[in-house]
Amino acid sequence: MQASRPALPRALLWLALVAAVVAAYWALPIRGRVTVTTGEPGATLWPHFALETTATDAGQLAQITITDIRPWPFVVLTVDGEPAESAGEATVRGGTWQWRWTYPVPDGTGYTVAFYHDCHTGCQERGRLAVGSRESAPPAGTPTKLGVVMPSPTRDWHGRSGWVVEVTYARRSDEHYWGVDDLAARVARHRARGLNVLVRVDYEQRQSLPPADDYVALAEYLAFLRRLARDDRLRDVHGYIVGSDYNAATASTLAPDRPTTPAWYARLYSGYGEDAGHADNALQTVHRENPRAQVLVGPIRPWANNQDGHLPYEPHNVPWLNYMNTLVALLDETAQVKAAAGVPGAAPDGFDVQAPGSPDAPELAGTLRADEPLTDLPRQAWDGAQAGFRIYRDWMAIINSAPTTRGKPIYIVSTNTYDRAANVPPAQNYPADWLTSALTEVNTQPQVRALVWFLDEFPHSDEWDWFSLSEQPGRLVDAAEEFDALLRQ
């Protein structure tokens, strides 16, 4: 007797049905109306996507209606990562809920629509729809350590997989540009081009981190970090930078009487001084939501005297290195205490540092200004501490002095030739080939992952034009041409 053929599992039948529907849809022209369902397998697939397109003088305009069996709050629709415009509030239709959006149909043969909910605490993807036939993704770019802060959307990366730094603020989470939705759109554009994205997370403008011992502000900051880490639109962010310049007075202007001490930074970063079982800190907050994201210790401002550290750095006893030495010691202590209590992964994922150049430093003494990154500049008035680009080596020596931080990745997230003491911007003092020398230097250091110029483009004002590679004022025309040439290599 011939054995009967076993029935296909119901899940496979549903997958075959969905594949057939999507394949048939891709064969259709984009104009017109079509309904496609995606989502969880079951008797009915949700959500449903209904798409209509109409021709306008400006091109194709799409309206999409999404129907679901749950009344999702705080919904967002993106088109290739860009937010679509809502066409009204949610409506109820026979036990289901509907939402509508409109958007101009992107150029090209295809695009992707994604539906998210609960975006007030971190967007969760509910379903997505591929419209048309998208060309195959370009191959991953050739890696480079070069990068920029706030990149111009028109920058040509010449197929290189470089680094970009974006900035956001906990207290501006829903504002234009600085808020989460605009940040997510920029991240989507960067990732589509194969770039590595770091996001610097500050508490507020002119207040890098929550004021010391302000636990309400700390809870607010951690809630924002949790929202970022939960957001499915940001799942491919390489890392989050916890604050910046926090040892300088200018980073605590909203609470100058409560600056960020090394102890307070270690507390908010990984839980220094708290019970080992407590997880209300930046490191564990992010890892709990997105274990792949790196949580990076933010950069200290070099040559700032506003704060010191109680553990002097023996080779060079100066405030900025003492601060860093104290901070690394406290982070190391915290990681070891948590490890002894059975809490893994409490050491920093990596460190962001600043390495400004000093092409006019008197210590160069006849050396070519462009070779400054290749030259040690020990300053006697600073107990032999580096006075130029090679300050990154001082930071690295401190990082490598502690057991749990030794060998951790280092990202130079801010470099240029700004002379802060004399207030001379790169547009005035940049020497041709300086950036080439800086890249040559860091390429000899496997521990250094990135060399990021501050900055590329600031769309809000002309405040940073004298630093901008896109604006290219003065001597920055040389830096801009050099940056482009290095990407082409």
pLDDT in tens, the chain (489 residues): 444 444 445 444 444 444 444 444 434 444 444 444 444 444 358 999 999 999 988 889 999 999 999 999 999 999 999 999 999 989 998 899 999 999 999 988 899 999 999 999 999 999 999 999 876 666 679 999 999 999 999 999 999 999 999 999 999 999 999 999 999 999 999 999 999 999 999 999 999 999 999 999 999 999 999 999 999 999 999 999 999 999 999 999 999 999 999 999 999 999 999 999 999 999 999 999 999 999 999 999 999 999 999 999 999 999 999 999 999 999 999 999 999 999 999 999 999 999 999 999 999 998 999 999 999 999 999 999 999 999 999 999 999 999 999 999 999 999 999 999 999 999 999 999 999 999 999 999 999 999 999 999 999 999 999 999 999 999 999 999 999 999 999
**Shared domain check, 256 and 188:** yes
The pair phi, psi for residue 303, each rounded to 5°, is: 65, 20
**306 contacts 317 by C-beta, under 8 angstroms:** no
Residues 6+ apart with CB under 8 A from 439: 145, 146, 451, 486
Residues 6+ apart with CB under 8 A from 186: 153, 166
Look at residue 3 and tell me if it is in a domain: no
Q: Return the C-alpha torsion angle 54, 60, 61, 63, nearest 10.
A: 60
- Look at the chain and report how many structural domains it folds into: 2
**208 contacts 185 by C-beta, under 8 angstroms:** no
**Shared domain check, 180 and 61:** no
How far is it, in rounded angstroms, from Cα 438 to Cα 487? Answer: 14
Stated pTM of the model: 0.91
> In this structure, is the dihedral angle defined by the CA atoms of residues 355, 359, 361 and 363, taken in order, positive or negative?
positive
**Shared domain check, 165 and 99:** no
Q: How many C-beta atoms lie closer than 10 Å to residue 321's C-beta?
A: 28
**Shared domain check, 175 and 80:** no
**452 contacts 413 by C-beta, under 8 angstroms:** yes
Look at residue 153 and tell me if it is in a domain: yes
Distance of CA 142 to the CA centre of its chain: 20
Look at residue 439 and tell me if it is in a domain: yes
**108 contacts 62 by C-beta, under 8 angstroms:** no
**Shared domain check, 33 and 149:** no
Q: SS3 for 93-116, per residue?
A: ECCEEEEEEEEECCCCCEEEEEEE
**Shared domain check, 159 and 29:** no
Residues 6+ apart with CB under 8 A from 265: 209, 243, 246, 327
**Shared domain check, 109 and 159:** no
Q: Give which of 184, 164, 183, 200 is closest to 352, Cα–Cα.
A: 200
**423 contacts 470 by C-beta, under 8 angstroms:** no
Question: Residue written as tokens 């989507």?
Answer: 188
Residue 399, SS3 per DSSP: helix
How far is it, in rounded angstroms, from Cα 69 to Cα 71? Answer: 7
Amino acid at 437: S
Give the single-character DSSP code of 69. Answer: S
User: Which pLDDT score is estimated for 109?
Assistant: 84
Look at residue 437 and tell me if it is in a domain: yes
Write the pLDDT tens digit of every residue in 124-182. Answer: 999 999 999 876 666 679 999 999 999 999 999 999 999 999 999 999 999 999 999 99
Question: Residue written as tokens 């590679």?
Answer: 469
* Host H or E run for residue 78: strand 76-79
**Shared domain check, 417 and 319:** yes
Q: Give which of 75, 185, 82, 67 is closest to 121, Cα–Cα.
A: 75
User: What is the extent of the structural domain holding 366?
Assistant: 142-488
Q: How many C-beta atoms lie closer than 10 Å to residue 32's C-beta?
A: 10
**Shared domain check, 89 and 28:** yes
Look up the CATH number of the domain holding residue 87.
2.60.40.10
Look at residue 209 and tell me if it is in a domain: yes
Look at residue 5 and tell me if it is in a domain: no
Strand partners for 410: 351, 448
How far is it, in rounded angstroms, from Cα 123 to Cα 116? Answer: 6
Q: Give which of 220, 216, 218 is closest to 171, Cα–Cα.
A: 220
User: Which pLDDT score is estimated for 136?
Assistant: 64
Look up the CATH number of the domain holding residue 241.
3.20.20.80
Look at residue 354 and tell me if it is in a domain: yes
| Residue where one domain finishes, among candidates 77, 109, 132 | 132
| Residue where one domain finishes, among candidates 132, 155, 189 | 132
Q: Give which of 450, 460, 418 is closest to 205, Cα–Cα.
A: 460
**283 contacts 348 by C-beta, under 8 angstroms:** yes
Residues 6+ apart with CB under 8 A from 29: none
User: Which pLDDT score is estimated for 45?
Assistant: 86
| Residue where one domain finishes, among candidates 132, 161, 186 | 132
Question: Residue written as tokens 């017109």?
Answer: 32
**Shared domain check, 164 and 92:** no
Look at residue 484 and tell me if it is in a domain: yes
User: Which pLDDT score is estimated for 14?
Assistant: 46
**Shared domain check, 161 and 27:** no
**Shared domain check, 47 and 161:** no
